[in-house]
Structures are given as C-alpha cells and as structure tokens.
Amino acid sequence: MNVIVVQNAEEGGREGYKIFRNAKENGATVFGLATGSTPLTTYAELCDSDIDFSDCTSVNLDEYVGLGPDDDQSYAYFMQHNLFNQKPFAHSYIPNGLANDITKEVSRYDQVLADNPVDLQILGIGRNGHIGFNEPGTPFNSKTHEVQLTQSTIDANSRFFANKEDVPRSALSMGMASIMQAKSILLEAYGDAKADAIAQTIEGPVTENVPASILQRHPNVTIIVDEAAASKLKGQY
C-alpha cells in the first residue's frame, strides 16, 4: 500500500486529482466513484481542471434504497451536483434506489460492472472501516447486494438529513469482491474520527470485521490521509 500523509483535505484533494490525471493519461476509461464528504476536495480539483471525462464511464459504489436522483440526499443527486454537472461522463451508472425489484437491480448492476471493468476506484471509509456500504461482517466474496445499515452508519450519515428518522435504513452497494476487481484503488480519509479505521485497515489483520483491511491484498492501492486520520498508525509513512 502506498500511503501519502497530507496536511489537510485540500492538499489531499490535490494529490487525489493527480492520481486521476495519471490514471487517465495511462489509458484509464472507467472510473469507480464514491460519495460522502471525503472525495469532495478531489472532485473540486477535477472540476477546476481541464480533465475531460466525456469519453469515459463512471460507476458509483452505492445508493440509498428509496431515494431517487431528484432527492437531494440521494447519491445520484450528490454526483450530479459535485461532479457530473461540470465534468460529464459518456456513461454514468449508479444503483437505482427506486428499483421495484431489488433482486433484478442487483443483477443489473453486477452486469454493469462486468461490462465496465473499473480502472481506478476512489473510496472513502466509514468510522467502522466500511467501504461503499459494506458493513463489518460483509463476506469478502460479495458482489452487489442490499445492505441493512448499522446504527453507527445511520448516526454518522444523519448529519446530512433534516431528521435522523429520514436516513434510509438500507442501501444497494457494490460488494467487496466487486471493489477488489478494480485495477487500482485510491482511498482517502480525513479527520481523527477515521484514525482507528485507518490504523486497522493498514496495520491490522485482514478481517471481514474491518472491510477496508481487504485492501492489503490488492496490488495497487494508494491511501491519502491527513495527519489526524494517520495519528494511530505505528509505522512511518
């Protein structure tokens, strides 16, 4: 794992941008995208740049069940407003949170991923080490699936909703195996609330109890952390 320690999320965004640009210059055409506050500085750098994704494809990690693209809390809305309005892709895929038939939607999304192998996947990380919405205990061989969110994730994500009761209780997420298929992975984490998860991800045992620890088995992972998120690492980075 290549660990880059930065001063703050803004510097992290500039480093994240460089990784996108390098990937694109080296022929990447399919980008796996994430939501949450963490990738925002990287997306802002991409928006401010002359990078052109109009011949590229994006596939997003996850979406809340029950929220559609017009809902300002949906991940489809987030992507539109934080990246796609300024940097459109030729094709953008995201799980359909409004699908009537979840089983069918899960299969459709697995097919999307099979048809569009991801060159670079960007990830944030939950306080409990989740990636996408793969909560602790998710099997490492999982593909796209419906997830019941843990209380800690509902609590953490409630800051974006008017009421905690409005936070959806389930989501559709790429699985762990789907994420590991990406040719390269960039994980970003900022702030001391992520310090335990980052220490366990990088220096702890590889275990389904800390989903992001699986990244130790991936050959091409870069982790950008600020000093607060790096504060519980024992090694020198």
Task: Note the residues at the interface with ligand GLP (CB under 6 A).
Answer: 34-38, 61-62, 124-126, 132-133, 153, 157
Q: Which is nearer to ligand GLP, 4 or 61 (CB)?
A: 61
Of the residues 15, 105, 119, 135, only one is catalytic, namely 135
Nearest approach, Cβ of 193 to ligand GLP (angstroms)? 8
Of the residues 60, 96, 128, 157, only one is catalytic, namely 128
62 included as an active-site residue: yes
Q: Which is nearer to ligand GLP, 16 or 36 (CB)?
A: 36
CA-CA-CA-CA dihedral for 78, 79, 81, 87, to nearest 10: 170
215 and 140 in contact (C-beta within 8 Å)? no
Nearest approach, Cβ of 65 to ligand GLP (angstroms)? 12
Nearest approach, Cβ of 2 to ligand GLP (angstroms)? 19
135 included as an active-site residue: yes
* CB neighbour class for 71 (10 Å; exposed up to 12, middle 13-18, buried from 19): middle
Of the residues 15, 45, 60, 62, only one is catalytic, namely 62
Rounded Cα distance, 220 and 8, in Å: 23
- Beta 170-173 vs 145-148: how paired, if at all? antiparallel
DSSP states of 33-45 as a string?
E--SSTTHHHHHH
Q: Which is nearer to ligand GLP, 26 or 164 (CB)?
A: 164
Which residues are tagged catalytic?
A: 62, 128, 130, 135
